[in-house]
Amino acid sequence: MGNEKKILLTLLFTAVLFSGCVSQPEPECIPLEKVESAFESEGKCLVVFEGNVYDLTTISDWSGGTHKGAHSCGEEYTAEEISAGPHHKTVMDRFKIGKLCD
């Protein structure tokens, strides 16, 4: 086996061996007070679902602080409320910005 192949195999083995050692950063802890006041103070539409905080500011249907006249920014929503809508709860994942502080 050539020197280049040995080096590549060594690098590959090392990458696989240590790939589980890189820790993921802890999600930001966001207090409920910030979620509730974010629209008024910063123009951000934050909501809570299953203990996580989501930023829905970029979604045009949430502009103005409400969604379809039925839901408001700064609120906590239950699984029943989310599943009653046309979107599956996995749609929320891409908007997650942190966890609600205990």
Domain count of the fold of the chain? 1
Residue 89 confidence (pLDDT) = 79
Longest Cα–Cα distance of the chain, Å, equals: 68
Q: How far is CA 97 from CA 2, 7, 57, 59, in A?
A: 48, 40, 12, 15
User: Is 88 within a domain?
Assistant: yes
Q: How many residues does the chain have?
A: 102
User: Is 93 within a domain?
Assistant: yes
Residue 90 confidence (pLDDT) = 83
Residue of 3 and 63 predicted with greater confidence: 63
Residue 10 confidence (pLDDT) = 57
User: Is 55 within a domain?
Assistant: yes
**CATH number, position 84:** 3.10.120.10
User: Is 44 within a domain?
Assistant: yes
User: Is 2 within a domain?
Assistant: no
Average pLDDT over residues 16-34: 69
Residue 17 confidence (pLDDT) = 47
d(CA 56, CA 54): 6
Residue 16 confidence (pLDDT) = 47
Asked if pLDDT for residue 7 goes beyond 50, the answer is yes
Question: What percent of the chain clears pLDDT 90, i.e. is strictly above it?
Answer: 48
User: Is 71 within a domain?
Assistant: yes
